[in-house]
A and B are shown apart, each in its own frame.
Chain A
Amino acid sequence: MVEASSVEIRKVNKYYGQFHALKDIDLTIPPGKVTCLIGPSGSGKSSLLRCINFLEEYDSGEVLIDGQLIGYETPGGRRMAPRRLRQMRSTIGMVFQQFNLWPHMTAQENVAEGLIRVRGMRKPQAMERAAEALTRVGLADRMGNHPSRLSGGQQQRVAIARAVAMDPRLMLFDEPTSALDPELVGEVLNVMKALAAGGMTMVVVTHEMGFAAHVADQVAFLEAGELVGVDVPSRILREPEDPRIQSFLRTYRERNVI
């Protein structure tokens, strides 16, 4: 396992036109730990996550990966050179709610593609490595399938393998199980738990409170673009002080009572 990255988010602000989506966010993501981002819909969880690999441009503040500013040359300065940005992104894996697998390629080709185009690996080696990565997520017998011939859970595991094969030092997950049928959630969470146990730095936007409670090292709660609280799950999920968090958790529990 390669070294794990840390992320430092300082006074980050993000606007969509006039709309202030992220307000002065400060958050430290320690290396090798799992940080869950929770909060109501529209609170800015995805926006914040996507600022970490600069898929979304933040307007002010700093996002530092291992102390290195991402996106800009200096805080508030010029955009960083595309080449350097790509280089930084290639060490940050991202997993999307909708999987975003490339439908015209097999599972194995999906995983190999980044190794070939970004890491400059030769195709046979890349395919071999893709096979290993897929085997680790339990898909050794599905490597030749196109995404349309895989279940949602299998597709998401391919997407995780695609990210992990790049040897990232940090993994970002945006609601990785929200698009899945309930019975398929477990297989994806298990793969994520294994990654976490391996010492990967993970930032996970999730509505799976069980995952947050049992796997996260810290949980950050956002509401209306503000970071309302950050704490270990036992405190923030069991005895939150902020009334906004209390009310969010109450709604969550009510919805999940059978």
Chain B
Amino acid sequence: MFSLSSFLDAFWPLTMAARYTLLVSGLGIALGLVIGAFVCVLALSKSRVWRTVAAVWVSYLRGVPMLVQLLVVFFLLPVIGIDVPAIVGAVVTTAIVASAYISEIWRGAIMALPKGQTEAAIAIGMRPRDSWTRIILPQAVALSIPQLINELILLVKASSLVSVVGVMEITRASQAQAGVTFRPLEAYLAAACLYLAINLCLAALGRWLEHRMAV
């Protein structure tokens, strides 16, 4: 029998755990945006070496499952003498994986701009720096918002993976709850509701941003 009270009871511990879900995905995307910007600069660089570095970075991170990467980082850090809480490794891994996707999103957005946009800037005598900051980036960023929100939603879901290295986020908390109450269905359903609530909010945020940035 489905127990409504166990279902409702599960929300409090899971909501507490949601802070870690948000921390991992929020910090992950924030750092990922910064690293992704660097990778994107490399990918668009004139130097073949830098382009190769970016290509290797992107294809490794997109080609290997995030679960495996988390485990690699988790076991690698102690070996190279870095002793940090599991949450730190989880955030760093998430950020690095996100950076690969984000750099591709930005590269795509920049390449999608018509050539005439920069040509108009060049023809008028603008410096490359100004044409980047005034013409290309504002448009590329606006263009990439839906995909960035989509990436953030994927990260929220992917953050369930960091439960394997012991971070007490929603998924791990629901496992713990199920173990204590012997009510797995209620615990996991509550987890599902929380994930859905978070991602519906993010989708709404995305629509609002898109609407605001629309030209």
Contact = CB atoms under 8 A, between A and B. Distances in A.
A103 B125 contact: no
Interface stretch (B50-58, B127-135, B159-167): B127-135
Contact of B123 (A53, A87, A98, A104): A53
A46 to B, nearest CB: 11
A58 interface: no
Interface stretch (A21-29, A60-68, A112-120, A213-221): A112-120
Chain A interface extent, by class: 20 to 34
Given A100-B114, A104-B139, A104-B215, A55 B122 contact: yes
Interface of B: 114, 116-117, 119-120, 122-127, 130, 134-135, 138-139, 142, 215
**Chain B contact residues: helix, strand, loop or mixed:** helix
B116 A89 contact: no
A100 B142 contact: no
5 smallest beta-carbon distances between A and B, as pairs: A90-B125, A100-B116, A100-B120, A94-B123, A114-B124
A146 interface: yes
Contacts, number: 62
Given A96-B120, A100-B119, A117-B130, A89 B215 contact: no
Given A89-B124, A113-B124, 19 more contacts: A86-B126, A87-B125, A89-B122, A89-B125, A90-B124, A92-B123, A93-B124, A94-B123, A94-B124, A96-B120, A98-B116, A100-B114, A100-B117, A102-B135, A117-B130, A117-B134, A159-B120, A162-B124, A166-B124
A151 interface: no
Interface in A54-92: 55, 86-90, 92
A148 interface: yes
Given A103-B139, A104-B215, A117-B130, A86 B120 contact: no
Nearest to A118: B125
20 contacts: A55-B119, A86-B126, A86-B127, A88-B125, A93-B123, A93-B124, A94-B123, A94-B124, A96-B116, A100-B119, A102-B120, A104-B138, A104-B215, A114-B125, A117-B126, A117-B127, A118-B125, A148-B215, A159-B120, A163-B124
A90 B117 CA distance: 16
A78 to B, nearest CB: 18
Contacts of A166: 124-125
A102 B123 contact: no
A170 to B, nearest CB: 12
A114 B119 CA distance: 13
Contacts of B139: 102-104
Q: Determine which residue in A55, A114, A159, A163 has the highest number of CB atoms from chain B within 10 A of its CB, and name it.
A: A114
Contacts of A102: 117, 120, 135, 139
Contact of B126 (A92, A93, A100, A114): A114
A55 B123 contact: yes
A100 B135 CA distance: 11
Interface string A153-165: 0000001001100
Nearest to A163: B124
Given A98-B114, A100-B114, A148-B215, A89 B123 contact: yes
Contacts of A96: 116, 119-120
Nearest to A102: B135
B128 to A, nearest CB: 8
B122 to A, nearest CB: 6
B114 to A, nearest CB: 7
A205 B130 CA distance: 29
Interface centre among A87, A113, A159 (most CB of B within 10 A): A113
Contacts of B126: 86, 114, 117-118
